[in-house]
Structure formats: structure tokens, C-alpha cells
Structure 1
Amino acid sequence: MDTRYRSWMSELPGHLTRVPLSCLAIPGSHDSGAYALDKSAGVSVDEPRLVSFLGSLCCGAGLSVVNRWSVTQDLSLGQQLEAGIRYLDLRVCVKPQTADTHFLHGLYGTKVLTALKEVKDFLDKNPKEFILLDFNHFHNMDAICHKQLLTDLKTLFGALIMPVDVNMSPWRMTLENIWETPMRVMIFYSDDTSANMKEFWPGFAIPSPWPNTSDPRVLIDFLENNYNAKHRNNNGNFYVWQGVLTPGAGTIMSHLCGSLKESVVPRASLAFLEWVGSKEPGPQGINICLGDHVHLHDFIPSVIRLNDKIQRRN
């Protein structure tokens, strides 16, 4: 694992620490918790019947297929942060027949709090880095389950959390200003149970348009249209540019011996990085860049290097 970018935020030149975080290029991981999936528990509750049927085939062979097409990252959350990721895309559920909250994507993953302790440990060891946690998909969770998770998040991160009522406009959320406070993590939570809790930002405060295609050309057309038409509001909020392809059932069924990592990610990442390399960070430009298997294809360095354009421009 390449750890050269473990502390890239703290190593930025001075003038970039005075740029709003929403105007910097920030590498993020897609389905960040789908790195260690458990075949023994069967197909998870987020999948349609066709995937559940596939998982039931051939004495476990079907579950191996589901696993290969569901794993989106090879690195744990802590390792992703060590590699330079600063935005984590989190999909969670309460695992059936348990009271435990897990990550999921096709299969069940690590316990959420176990994994998030790595995030806390990283911040303790790297006190000038800033992390965005985006909880945006929930399964098998009622209001009680949500409130328990929200309480656990508040307990784990405590004073590190940047609250919604922070005395800092989006345009003043720069590293330089943040370093004067104890705040090092911003948590977005896309469920109404968090609405009256100052520690959690609503999901609509971080738009993340989904290309929803398996075709790299359609992906680039989607991104180009959003960029040129300035679909991103000039309001200082964060914005996610998704550099991912979504394989359909037909793709998976015709590549049963393949995997997301080998059959899809190279086409997605290379097309996205070529596209984003011609763009610039800014209020309506590039901000968070999302990818699968982000330790590959020079994804993280390519995104961070986009900030050099701000340097040259100034």
C-alpha cells in the first residue's frame, strides 16, 4: 500500500490551506465499507431476488460470484485513509438476527463501529487531516436502530465532529480555519432521524449524482454535461463526482468468472481520470472524486494533483 499521501492535507502549500474544502480536489472511495465481505452469512438485504438466487447456486460457488462483483475496495477504512482518501461513502444495515450494524454490498461486511474506530485512530495520529463521512444508504433499520448508531457516532468522535451550527460559513471552511478548532470530521446522514441532531449534516448538503451506467462513454457524457452546464450550485457546499460504472445483471451473468475489479474498474477509472485531468477544482468545478479500488490506476495521486492547478492559477 502506498502511504505517501497519508498526510497530504497537512502538507499542502499555505495558500491552498486557505481555499474552501469544497473547492479542493479530494479523493473519495465508493462503497468504502465493501472491502471484507462475508460469504458465510449469505446475500445481504440490499440485493434483488436475482442476486439472491445467484448466491444460492452450486454449493457456494454462486456466493463466490456475488463476492467478486460486490467487493469495491481492497483496503480497510484505515488503510484507505493512510493511502490518501478523505471521503468515505458508507452503506449500512442491521444484520438480520443480530443487533449489530454492518457495512454491506451484496454480502455483509465489517461491523460499522469496529471499522470506524480505525478512522478515529487515524485522526488521532494525523491531527491536521480532515475526513468526510457520508452515510447514505440504510437497510433493515428502524428509528431505534438509527438513533443507536447516531449515539454511537457521537460517542466515538465527540469534539472531533463539525456540527451543523458551526460558526463557519461554507466559504470559510478552510484547513487553516479548521486547524484552529478541534473539529476534524464532518458526518452526513441521509435519514430524518438525525434531523434535530446538530452533529449530523443532511444528505442533500452533499450532492452526488449517480451516472448509473456500465458504459464509459455514457459516464463521461454524464460528467461532462454536469460540468459544462454548471449543475453544481455555486453555494460552497461539497459535491461528489462519481467515477464509477455500475454493472447490470447481464454483465455479471456473462462474466461469472470475472469481477468488478478486473472487468469494470479499469475501464471506469481510466476513463474518469482522463476526463477529470482536463478539469479544475473550484466552486462549480471538481471537488470530491469517487472511485472503486482506489489504490489502483494512480487514482488517489491523480485527484490530489488537480490542486496544483489552483496553485498555478494563483
Structure 2
Amino acid sequence: MYGICSTEELDENKKMAETESLADWMANLKEKFTKIPLSQLAIPGSHDAMAYSLDMDSSVLEPKKIKALDKMFSTFIRPIVKKWGTAQEKNISEQLDAGIRYFDLRVAGKPESSDLFFYHGLYTTMTMKEGMTELEKWLGRHTKEVVILAFSHFKEMSADQHTDLTNFLKEHFKAKLCPKPQVPSLKDCWENGYQVILSYDNRSIDDPVLWPRIEYWWADKSDPKDVISYLNNQKQKGRPEGLFVAGLNLTFDGNDMLLYLTKSLKEKTMTAYPRLLDWVKEQHSGSDKESVNIIAGDFVGVNSFAQDIIQLNKADSGP
């Protein structure tokens, strides 16, 4: 006899199918989208991608005013910094499974450690090497997916550490690295075995596989209406050449200290997301569709963020 699935089982099966589809969404695109430059695709991105494992035992790196207070009031300060510094909830593999293909990566050295770490306010518990190893293993299981890694906002790093970091990345990803400067299509990447575009925002480092800084439209606003207004104004100026990012992430503006003490970045972001995702869905037609590329946000993978962006590649796509 055939069994009858419960509603819970059907929901779980649907969720698993959606996850599998997002994990390989590039591989599943219609052929026409595999032949255009990646700069013309709509790509979901993760802002402060590694800020899901912030270390309460680490010292505060930023902002400067808070950093000074941390020396005297760390027990009080660090929980607050963690609430506002935690910009993601999913780990790197879960973000990849959720369809994220652009990662904003911020790296810092620690005086007491030879390792490099990610950071956002606080250092992460995960080292840079651990994060990149996890990502490389995922790529090995999804060989037609391509990621864009944007290393920037370096702190507490010497010239030798920059050299060590770039040497590690080149050795770690090897033939998976796509050389600059022409933005490839997915087809180009598949034919050459490329899976990683590596952007490194440090002018003292020059290498054929290290791409320059990718332009990031950052509103620096705490109100989603202001973020949308800023992005629409940027669009009117015309799209940049090559890859670029529209940031949906909000910023704490410092004007409401009570909000800072009692709320968190997640609460603020999740409240704003319905309005922000409405903006994403509006980018599906006409000239608007040509004005987006990478769209990055906080707390990716906990709502329809990635699906809505990926859907822009399918809207009005024809056969």
C-alpha cells in the first residue's frame, strides 16, 4: 500500500526541494542567462557575511568611541556590540545553500594570534582559513556554482599579513580562481573550471587573479525608505561598469541611544525587510532590470531575499 504524507512531511519535502534548487540555481538557469556576463545577472549577496560567529571574549575593534569604552566596561559593552554587529544568522554553507553567491568579507589581525579572523565590531570565533576551507569544500560539491568574494575593510594587518593572506587564497582556490579583468559568463566559467572571483581592496597588492574593489552602493541610512531612495538615485546616475553591489543593509545612526541599548540589528532589519523586498521585486522589468547586479543584505537565508533576487533572472525571460 502507498503511504499518505502528512502536511508536515509535505511541507518538509517542499522546503528540501527549494533548498536544493537554491543551492544549484546557477546550474539551473536557462541557457540564455549562462551566456551573458555575471555583471548582467541578478545575484544575491551577503553583507558582513561572516558576522554570525562574533566572539564575546574578543576586544572591540569598532566603532572608535565604543572601542575606547570597551577597555573599562567590556562586560556591559560587548553584549551590545554583538547585538548590533551580528549581521547574519546562517553559517557560510547555509548561506551558499540558500543561494548566496556574493560575500562581503572583512579581515583583521589579532595581536595575540598568528591567525587572521573576520570581524564586525568584534572578532569572529572562526578563523579566515576555517571559513575559506568550508567554502571551498562546498564548491567541490556544486561545481557549476560561481561565487564572488570581496575582501575589504582590513584592520590590524601588516604588509606581510596581506602577502600571506593573498598567497593563501591563491594556493587554496588554485585553478578555481577567475583571472581579471573581463567579467565572465557562467559558460566561460564552466568551460575553464572557474568558480571564484576574488576581489581584494588593497592597492598595494597587484596580481592577475586579484580583482579590484567592487563598487558597493551603501546608503548609510537606518530607515528603509531612505535606503530605497538612495538606491533609486544611484540608479538614475547609471550602472557602473562591471560587477557592482546594491546594499539593502541598514545602519545604526547613533541618534537613538535607547534603541541601541534595547534592540538589535536583527530586529531592525527584519522589520524593514518587507519594504526592502518590495523594492527588489520592482526591479524585474524594463530599464530597472538593467540597473541591478548583486543585491546584498543582512540576515540572508531567513526569508525570501535570495529567491526574490534570483527570480529577477527569470522574469520576462521567454523560452
State the TM-score, normalizing by the size of structure 1.
Answer: 0.89
What is the CA-CA distance between 1:289 and the residue it aligns to?
Answer: 0.5
Q: Distance in 1 between matches of 2:217 and 2:44?
A: 16
What is the CA-CA distance between 1:267 and the residue it aligns to?
Answer: 3.7
Say whether the 8 Å CA contact 2:60–2:70 is kept in structure 1.
no
Aligned ranges 1:5-154 → 2 under 5 Å: 5-44=22-61, 46-53=62-69, 56-57=72-73, 60-109=75-124, 110-154=126-170
- Number of equivalent positions: 299
The SS at the match of 1:249 is coil
Max radius of gyration: which structure?
A: 2
Question: Which deviates more from structure 2 when the two are superposed, residues 215-224 or residues 121-130?
Answer: 215-224
Say whether the 8 Å CA contact 1:266–1:297 is kept in structure 2.
no
Identity of aligned residues (%): 32
Q: Distance in 2 between matches of 1:186 and 1:275?
A: 27
Q: Distance in 2 between matches of 1:161 and 1:100?
A: 23
Aligned ranges 1:89-238 → 2 under 5 Å: 89-109=104-124, 110-164=126-180, 169-170=182-183, 173-195=184-206, 197-203=207-213, 206-230=214-238, 232-233=239-240, 235=241, 237-238=242-243
**Equivalent position of 2:309 in the other structure:** 303
The SS at the match of 2:56 is strand
**Equivalent position of 1:249 in the other structure:** 254
The superposition leaves residues 157-178 of structure 1 with CA deviations (integer Å, 9 ceiling, x where unpaired) of: 001001126xxx43xx211222
Say whether the 8 Å CA contact 1:214–1:245 is kept in structure 2.
yes
The SS at the match of 1:308 is coil
Q: Which runs of 5+ in 2 are unaligned?
A: 1-14
Say whether the 8 Å CA contact 2:81–2:121 is kept in structure 1.
yes
Say whether the 8 Å CA contact 1:86–1:130 is kept in structure 2.
yes
Q: Distance in 2 between matches of 1:107 and 1:79?
A: 22
Which of 255, 262, 276 aligns to 1:272? It is 276
| Cα distance change on mapping 1:27 and 1:209 into 2, 3 Å | same
Q: Distance in 2 between matches of 1:179 and 1:132?
A: 15
The superposition leaves residues 75-133 of structure 1 with CA deviations (integer Å, 9 ceiling, x where unpaired) of: 12122111110000011111122221100011110211111111100110000000000
Q: Distance in 2 between matches of 1:293 and 1:147?
A: 31
- The amino acid across from 2:113 in the alignment is T
| Cα distance change on mapping 1:257 and 1:274 into 2, 3 Å | same
Q: Distance in 2 between matches of 1:55 and 1:71?
A: 21
What is the CA-CA distance between 1:260 and the residue it aligns to?
Answer: 0.5
The SS at the match of 1:194 is coil
Q: Distance in 2 between matches of 1:224 and 1:295?
A: 25
The superposition leaves residues 265-295 of structure 1 with CA deviations (integer Å, 9 ceiling, x where unpaired) of: 1244322211121114888411100000011
Which of 236, 260, 263 aligns to 2:265? It is 260
Say whether the 8 Å CA contact 2:215–2:244 is kept in structure 1.
yes
| Cα distance change on mapping 1:140 and 1:194 into 2, 3 Å | same
Say whether the 8 Å CA contact 1:69–1:259 is kept in structure 2.
yes
Q: Which runs of 5+ in 1 are unaligned?
A: none
What is the CA-CA distance between 1:62 and the residue it aligns to?
Answer: 2.6
Say whether the 8 Å CA contact 1:55–1:66 is kept in structure 2.
no
Q: Distance in 2 between matches of 1:41 and 1:88?
A: 23
State the TM-score, normalizing by the size of structure 2.
Answer: 0.88
